Amino acid sequence: MSQCSVPVITIDGPGGSGKGTITQMVARKLGWHLLDSGALYRLTALAAARQGVQFDDEAGLVRVAASLDVSFEPTPPGEPAKVILGGEDVTDEIRTERCGDNASKVAVIPAVREALLQRQRDFRQPPGLVADGRDMGTVVFPDAPTKIFLTASAEERAQRRYSQLKDAGLSVNIDALLEEIRARDERDMNRSAAPLKPAEDAQVIDSTGLSIEEVLDRVMAASGQA
């Protein structure tokens, strides 16, 4: 099977929409490979910080992105995919709010996106791929037969993140989280490189008020895999 004939389901959407959880659930259900594309930007931001590369150093960020040694490992249901950077488990470290904010800054740089583009496409391997991100259906896999755009209100996404952080024993302010989410949405939707938006042929699913099982059912039905 040639790489271009390997089926792909893209699941795009803003942060906190539940796309990461749903992507893992769909990949497990189908026995397909998983790509958490957002992690690649978080990994670039983390690796850059560790190497002392500034976020306004475009050449340095491109070098970091091009040399990432990353893999994803499956985990039990309900847990995020394990992210391995250079042999080290950095799953928790890349999920911090600071790393997420830095990743959003890195993602606006066209040269960094270009450096990571082919790396993302290389995850397309038999029997299939479920790709989670913000531009999977519009830029990375425009020929994907199934494209989902998963969204939810900013208020609900802030509440979900607040609950996650509180469960982790962290002290957080929900108003501050809501402000950060709105700011990130604004930045992602208005960036010049691959702005956050549904592909023209994407099926939009609003997860506000839905259980994760209800969202999964809708995604599976939309992909013809129900």
Q: Distance from first CA to last CA of the chain, Å, rounded?
A: 24
Local confidence band at 226 (pLDDT 50, 70, 90 cut-offs): low
pLDDT grade for 77, boundaries at 50, 70 and 90: low
pLDDT digits (tens, 9 = 90+) for 18-62: 888 899 899 889 999 989 888 999 999 999 999 999 999 999 999
Q: What is the pTM of this model?
A: 0.80
Place of tokens 């250079």: 86
Q: What percent of the chain is modeled with pLDDT above 70?
A: 97
Amino acid (one-letter) located at 126? P
Confidence of residue 154 (pLDDT cuts 50, 70, 90): very high
Q: Whole-angstrom Cα distance, residue 224 to residue 9?
A: 11
Nearest to 6 by CA among 125, 115, 169: 125
Neighbours of 142 (CB within 10 A): 14
**Residue 161's pLDDT is what?**
86
108 phi and psi angles, rounded to 5 deg: -80, -5
C-alpha distance from residue 83 to each of 94, 127, 190, 198 (Å): 9, 21, 29, 26
Cβ(194)–Cβ(134) below 8 Å: yes
Give all domains of the chain, ordered by start, each with its CATH number.
3-222 (3.40.50.300)
Please report the pLDDT score of residue 38 as a whole number.
80
Whether residue 192 is predicted with pLDDT greater than 80 in this model: the reply is no
